[in-house]
Amino acid sequence: MSNAPSGWEVVIGLEVHVQLHTRAKVFASSPWGFGKEPNEQVDPVVLGLPGTLPVVNREAVEKSILFGLVVGASVPEHCSWDRKNYFYPDNPKNYQLTQKDFPVVVGGQVEIELPGASRNVMGEHKFIRIHHAHLEEDVGKLSHAGSGSLVDYNRAGVPLLEIVTEPDLRSSAEAEAFLRSLVAMLTQAGVADCDMEKGQLRCDCNVSIRRRGAEKLGTRTETKNLNSISSVRDTVIYETARQIRELEAGRSITQETRGWNAELARGYVLRDKEDAHDYRYFPDPDIPTLKISRETVTRLAQQVPENLYDRQRRYVEKLGLPYTAASVLVHDRALAEWFEQAAAAHPTNPSGIANLVANDLLRDLAASAGAAGGFDESTPAPVSLASCPIKPAQLAGLVKLTDDGVISKQQAKEVFAEMFKTGQDAAAIVDAKGLRQNSDTGELEKIVQEVIADPAVAKSIAEYRAGNEKAINALKGPIMKRTQGKANPGLIDQLLRKALG
């Protein structure tokens, strides 16, 4: 699926900056986290006071390595840090510690899933290659106030993993799919929280156009600091159209750095800083080269969770789940694991369990939690199963009761609602409410005969026998009434048809 009209091809590469899940900053021991008063998370090292030195945070390195293992990259034996020198008020040392030559992760790939023909149909899968990922520090936050600007250094020094893709993406849909997949992988491995509302994931988007079939890449533009998946998507669409317009008008594309104005849905050129490109990179003399032991890599490999699409394939192919339910489950690791526990307790109907979990449970949890903060609007927010009133085995028990015909599907909904409210077992609620379906064939046959014999339904019987399928429903009501609504509907239907011939 491409945004470019035939003849043209858009080529996209992304640089995704992700704040890693650590308690302290990457080169300083100051804590960090959202919502603090300005400059409360600043120590002498963060502020760049004279005489201070960086010390690398082990957790930040390990989370970076873990990411590498998650994407199947290679983790080199050594990595080192370099200084990127430039002056800016949000940059406390006026150099940023980053990794230019020897990053912590090299290579790897991310499997993405594109939208299918319809909601229920799985779309095409593709692999997007990762060029590398490097560990660096974030900068402070500038805001503007009247005739001046203000700087808050709480964010300065936060660990950032910059993940750089190869230019493998070919449409806004692919860019979106990539980010969703990446976020799922990062959060499911515990590498990062990716809360985009808190600025924990920002994206730079490189877009170029070329003639379809051409080998050489066109001149690219870079749009920086996109902080939502929808703005990445919109930027790709906008920039694709803009570049094609330019090229078709006979103009050439200027290599430039751009910004995106989400309100106006427009890109714009960032002020061109002439010396912006001479960062005078050199190896940081304060941080020696780091040797990464194979023991550490082996230990971290144990923490790599099942890839969400591997899990999805397993659910659909091995467990027979419908695609939609599987898709919902695999995007939340805790939810998937919850489902698997329930399915283990009642292994004969995984689809039945999946449907309840993916639809009813998720809906009720979300409703009870209120609108949880999180990703993009179009991504389901992660729900906290920690406070779920129902335990996996209990849900399994409910499904078993339905499968055994003890209650109907309709009744199951009622029972589920009660389980969610009270946390009680399904069987206890069924008994307490006297909901056990009447599946006593003998008793029901008698009632069926009684109802058929009633002249009030003679007309309906005639219509049914004449070919009107729906007429049979008129007989079901009286039967249900005589059984206080407990007659097994499937059985009733069966017995009626048998009796009516």
Partner 1 sequence: MADALHTLSAAELGRRLAAGTLTSRALCEALLARYQAVNDKVGAFTHLDQADVLAQADASDARRKAGQGRGPLEGIPVAIKDNIAVKGQPLTCSSKMLAPLVSPYDSHVAERLRAAGAILYGRLNMDEFAMGSSTENSALRKTFNPWDLARIPGGSSGGSAAALAAGLVPLSLGSDTGGSIRQPASHCGVVGLKPTYGLISRFGLVAFASSLDQIGPMARCVEDCGLLLNALASADARDMTCFGPSDRALTPAGDAKQLRIGIPKGFLGKGVAPEVAAAVNAAVEFYRAQGCAVSEVELPSADLAVPTYYVVATAEASSNLGRYDGVRYGHRSVVAGTPVEMMTASRSEGFGPEVKRRILLGTFVLSAGYADAYYVRALRARAKIRAEYLAALAGVDVLLTPTVPTPAFKVGEKASDPLQLYLEDIFTIPANLAGLPAISVPCGKSGHLPVGFHLVGAPLSEAKLLAAGRLFEAAHGFAHQQAAL
Partner 2 sequence: MAEGFDIDHLAKLARLSLTAEEKALYSAQLNQILGHFQALADADLPATIDDARVVDEAALRSDEPGPVLGAEAVTRIAPASHDGQISVPRVVDDES
Which positions touch partner 1 (CB under 8 A)?
Answer: 44, 47-56, 83, 85, 87-89, 92-95, 149, 151, 153, 277-278, 280, 282, 285-288
Nearest approach in angstroms of CB 136 to partner 2 is 16
User: CA 239 to CA 242: how far, in whole Å?
Assistant: 5
Residues, the chain: 501
48 binds, among partner 2, partner 1, none (CB under 5 to 8 A by kind): partner 1
**Of 48 and 259, which CB lies nearer to partner 1 in the complex structure?**
48
* Cβ neighbours of 31 (radius 10 Å): 14
> Residue count at the site for partner 2 (CB under 8 A)?
57
User: CA 377 to CA 331: how far, in whole Å?
Assistant: 15
CA distances from 376 to 105, 111, 372 (A): 27, 20, 12
Nearest approach in angstroms of CB 117 to partner 2 is 41
Nearest to 304 by CA among 44, 16, 68: 68
* Cβ neighbours of 454 (radius 10 Å): 11
**Of 56 and 457, which CB lies nearer to partner 1 in the complex structure?**
56
Q: What is the 3-state secondary structure (H, E, C) of 410-441?
A: HHHHHHHHHHHHHCCCHHHHHHHHCCCCECCH
**Of 127 and 282, which CB lies nearer to partner 1 in the complex structure?**
282
211 binds, among partner 1, partner 2, none (CB under 5 to 8 A by kind): none
219 binds, among partner 1, partner 2, none (CB under 5 to 8 A by kind): none
Out of 55, 262, 344, 369, point to the residue binding partner 2 (CB under 8 A).
55
Nearest approach in angstroms of CB 21 to partner 1 is 23
**Of 92 and 108, which CB lies nearer to partner 1 in the complex structure?**
92
* Cβ neighbours of 81 (radius 10 Å): 27
66 binds, among partner 1, partner 2, none (CB under 5 to 8 A by kind): none
Phi, psi of 217 (to 5 degrees): -80, 145
480 binds, among partner 1, partner 2, none (CB under 5 to 8 A by kind): none
User: CA 57 to CA 229: how far, in whole Å?
Assistant: 29
Look up residue 31 and give its DSSP letter: B
SS3 66: helix
For partner 2, what does the binding mask look like between residues 14 and 53, x meaning CB under 8 A? --------xxx---xxxx-----xxxxxxxx--x------
User: CA 94 to CA 48: how far, in whole Å?
Assistant: 9
| Non-local CB neighbours of 104 within 8 Å, separated by 6+ positions | 61, 64, 65, 68, 75, 76, 79, 133, 134, 135, 292
User: CA 248 to CA 418: how far, in whole Å?
Assistant: 63
Nearest approach in angstroms of CB 15 to partner 2 is 15
Out of 15, 34, 48, 59, point to the residue binding partner 2 (CB under 8 A).
59
Nearest approach in angstroms of CB 26 to partner 2 is 10
Nearest approach in angstroms of CB 289 to partner 2 is 5
Nearest approach in angstroms of CB 49 to partner 2 is 8
Nearest approach in angstroms of CB 63 to partner 2 is 10
Could you say whether residue 150 binds partner 2 (CB under 8 A)?
yes
Could you say whether residue 290 binds partner 2 (CB under 8 A)?
yes
53 binds, among partner 2, partner 1, none (CB under 5 to 8 A by kind): partner 1
**Of 223 and 307, which CB lies nearer to partner 2 in the complex structure?**
223
- Write out the H or E segment, with its range, that includes residue 204: strand 201-211
210 binds, among partner 1, partner 2, none (CB under 5 to 8 A by kind): none
Stretch 74-103 residues interacting with partner 2 (CB under 8 A): 78, 87, 89-90
Applying CB under 8 A, which part among 108-116, 288-296, 421-429, 445-453 lies near partner 2? 288-296
User: CA 66 to CA 74: how far, in whole Å?
Assistant: 11
Q: What is the 3-state secondary structure (H, E, C) of 442-482?
A: HHHHHHHHHHHHCHHHHHHHHHHHHCCHHHHHHHHHHHHHH
Could you say whether residue 299 binds partner 2 (CB under 8 A)?
no
| Non-local CB neighbours of 184 within 8 Å, separated by 6+ positions | 308, 330, 331
Residues 30 and 156: beta-carbon distance below 8 Å: no
Applying CB under 8 A, which part among 119-127, 173-181, 283-291, 383-391 lies near partner 2? 283-291
Nearest approach in angstroms of CB 17 to partner 2 is 14
Out of 15, 34, 48, 56, point to the residue binding partner 2 (CB under 8 A).
56
Joined together, the tokens standing for residue 198 give 């808190």
For partner 2, what does the binding mask look like between residues 195 and 224, x meaning CB under 8 A? -----------------------------x
CA distances from 425 to 3, 21, 117, 393, 421 (A): 52, 37, 40, 9, 11
Nearest approach in angstroms of CB 100 to partner 1 is 12
Residues 82 and 99: beta-carbon distance below 8 Å: yes
CA distances from 90 to 22, 94, 156, 286, 339 (A): 21, 8, 8, 21, 46
**Of 270 and 345, which CB lies nearer to partner 1 in the complex structure?**
270
